[in-house]
Structure 1
Amino acid sequence: MFSVFFYYITYASIVLVYGIGMERAVFLSGNKNPLWLKAIKMLITASSVSALSYLFVNSLLVPAELAELYPFAVLLIFIPVSVFIEAIIRITTKISAVEFSISLLFIFVAITESSSLAECVFITCICVLSFFIFIPFVYSLCRKFDLYGGRTECSRNNFILASIAIIMLILLCWNVSWLNKGVFQ
C-alpha cells in the first residue's frame, strides 16, 4: 500500500496526470471559504461510494456479464449518498460543501484501477488527498504571479497552466526509456 500511496500522490497524481479537478483546484485556491468541510465531505462520500460501488459491480454486474454498465450503477449509488451527506453537513454547519463531478471521477478511476476493495477505497482516499494537496500549490502560484505585477486574468491563467505543465513534465520525465538500465544491455 505504501508504493500505491506514493504512486498516486506523485507520479500518477490524479490532478496532474489525468487533469481531474485542475480547473476546480484553481477556482478553490482563490476562494476565501475554508476547505476542510469540502475535504471531509468529499472523503466520506467518495470512499463510501467507491466501497459500495466496488461491491455492487463485482458481485452483481461482473457475474451477469454487464460490467459495461458500471458507470450508471456508480452514478445511481453516488447521487443518494452524496445528497444524504450534503444534507447532514448543511443541517449541522449551515454551510454548503457541494462537490459532484470531481468525486465521481475519483470513484471511476479507483474502481477501474483497483484489484481489491481495500485498494479501491485506498486509491479513492489518495485521489482526494492529492486534490487537496494541489490547492495550496496553485494558491502559491497565484500569489507569486500577483506579487510580480500580473495584469490580466488571462495572463494569470496562462502562467498557472504553464507552471502546472512544467511540473507535470518534471514528475514524468524520469520515465524516459533511455534512462532505464535495460536499454543499453
Structure 2
Amino acid sequence: MTIKLGKKVPFVWTKKGQQVPHVGQLVHGKGVHVWAGISWNGPTGIIIWDSKCRMDGNFYCKNIIPEVIKSGQRLFDGEYQLVQDNHPAHVSAATMDVIEENNIQLFPHPPQSPDFNAIEFLWRDLKIVRDKINPRTKAELVQLIIKFWKTKVTPSYCRTLIRHACKNIERSFDGLNHEKDTPTNKIYHH
C-alpha cells in the first residue's frame, strides 16, 4: 500500500475581488510504501520503505517473504495460509518459487476483490488517521504509521476486519440482491 503525504484540497473559498491563495502541490513520491498483514491472532510485523523504490518480485522475495515466515512462526507456530491479492510481485515466477521452497500455503484470492481482503479496510482506516493528523514530512508520516500499527492494530481489531471481509464474501454468494441495502461506513460492530 502506498501512503502519501498531504490532503487534497479541491476547493478554495474567497470573497469577491480577493486573490485566490496559492495552494502548494506535493511533489510526486512524497510518501512511503507499507507492507503488513493481519490475522485472527493479531498483526504481522510491518515493513515501510520509500515510495521511490518499487516493489517487484525480487524485492518481495528478499524483504517481504522473510517477514511472512517470521510472523507465521510467531502467530501460528508455522501453520498458516497466506492470503494476498494478485499484485505482480505476489505472483511473479521468482515469488512463487520462494513460496514453494518455504512451504508457504497460499489461500486463493479472486482478482479485483478488495471487499474480500480484510487488510484493505485497515488501509482505509490508516488513511483516515493520516488525513486527520496531516503529517508534513516523511518522518512524521512514518511515525504516524508505526504508532497506528502499535496502538490500533490489535488482535480484536484484526478479527473485526476479518469478520467484515468474511461477511462480504458470504453476501456475494448468498443468492440475495443486496443492491437496496443502505451503504454504511461503519464496519465495527463489537
TM-score (norm. length: structure 2): 0.33
Larger helix proportion of the pair: 1
Structure of greater relative contact order (alpha carbons < 8 Å, 6+ residues apart): 1
Q: TM-score, normalised by structure 1?
A: 0.34
